[in-house]
Amino acid sequence: MTSFVERLCVADMRAQAAHLGPGLTLSAVVAVAAMALGAHYGAPVMLFALLLGMALNFLSAEGKAGPGIQFTARTLLRLGVALLGLRITVSQVAALGWSPVLMVLVSVASTIAVGIVLARLMGFRMFFGLLTGGAVAICGASAALALSAAMPAHPQKERATLFTVIGVSTLSTLAMVLYPMLTQALGMAPVQAGFFIGGTIHDVAQVVGAGYSLSHDAGDAATLVKLMRVSMLLPVIALAAVLARRHEREQGGDTPTGPRPPLLPWFAVGFALLVLVNSSGWLPVALVQAGQGASQFLLVASMAAIGMKTQLQDIVTVGWKPVALMVLETVFLAALFWGLLRWV
């Protein structure tokens, strides 16, 4: 009997591998290519993954790659978000002191609120403002992917996610070039400049590049403030999940149509647990570094898979309003953080 059950399990695993394997392999290959291009040209890896994926769009609709691409874009994305918890420890956040923590809390909450208000004024859904505002306020493309995973299903959801990734990656690259010059023009001290860069540039890689281009002290301060912003991902995911549940309840009426979803998605719980475990110091350094690398690879692969599911014309036809929305959010965050630095 045991042997029969084992054979059934092996057969099921082989069937799943044959079902998902082509799409998983394709997503992994595109991710490797994107990471190689990003390292060579010093450009955002997520943007390369998206563009390469969109160039292979036909593969998601033809042949055997579709199921694996869908699995990568959904399940592996969530796993990559959970592993982001290995980037942060409680001691890193505590080392900042109360002043930068207060500035990060105020700037993240305010930018998201402004994003939601502006989105509604421009005629978009509240969730689009939360998506763009969260990406600008927290950690760029990674935050966009994480928040998108927690939001309710919608025909325009993937299109909105793709646009947000493109917009936030482009703006982050521009900020990496311009903000160090801006801090020097404003006469900021190295640590103060690091706080500004860490509190305003969207993606982690661009924060590191801009901070250490000024000085070692500025780079250290920028990285720590950025990690504090990344830690805000958990409560914002929780907010997105609560709003999604309320939206689905309103759409479905008072009678539940299926099992009640958890208050927090499993990947958000995993994120929180990994932050706590990483803070304990129990994990070997090599294991933490491997988890961080796995998180990066899974997010890049999922971005490639999302790109393969999307038509280029879906991005080209978005119009000027979403662009204006993200630019306004970015300018608001920079102005607010500069003001907070002068006040605090």
Residue ranges per domain, the chain?
Answer: 25-35+45-56+70-251+268-343
What is the distance between the alpha carbons of residues 135 and 90, in angstroms, rounded to a whole number?
Answer: 22
Please give the pLDDT value at position 4. 46
| DSSP category for residue 151 | S
Q: Residues 145, 75: contact at Cβ < 8 Å?
A: no
The pTM score is 0.76
E strand or H helix that includes residue 256: none
What is the distance between the alpha carbons of residues 168 and 117, in angstroms, rounded to a whole number?
Answer: 19
> For residue 182, which of 203, 205, 204, 213 has the smallest C-alpha distance?
213
What is the distance between the alpha carbons of residues 165 and 50, in angstroms, rounded to a whole number?
Answer: 8
| DSSP category for residue 42 | T
- Tokens linked to 202: 């969207």
E strand or H helix that includes residue 95: none
What is the distance between the alpha carbons of residues 29 and 55, in angstroms, rounded to a whole number?
Answer: 14
Find how far residue 303's CA is from the centre of its chain: 10
| DSSP category for residue 263 | S
Counting Cα atoms < 13 Å in the Cβ hemisphere of 131 gives: 30
What is the distance between the alpha carbons of residues 330 and 318, in angstroms, rounded to a whole number?
Answer: 19
Residues 6+ apart with CB under 8 A from 296: 35, 45, 80
pLDDT under 70: residue ranges of the chain: 1-15, 61-63, 96, 252-264, 311-318, 344
Please give the pLDDT value at position 213. 82
What is the distance between the alpha carbons of residues 109 and 107, in angstroms, rounded to a whole number?
Answer: 6
Q: Residues 44, 38: contact at Cβ < 8 Å?
A: yes
Find how far residue 200's CA is from the centre of its chain: 15
Cite the DSSP H helix spans in 215-319: 216-231, 233-252, 266-280, 285-308, 312-316
E strand or H helix that includes residue 258: none
What is the distance between the alpha carbons of residues 12 and 298, in angstroms, rounded to a whole number?
Answer: 24
- Answer positive or negative: Cα dihedral of 296, 213, 43, 222: positive
What is the distance between the alpha carbons of residues 241 and 165, in angstroms, rounded to a whole number?
Answer: 20
Please give the pLDDT value at position 199. 94
What is the distance between the alpha carbons of residues 116 and 121, in angstroms, rounded to a whole number?
Answer: 9
Rg (CA), the chain: 21
Please give the pLDDT value at position 315. 60
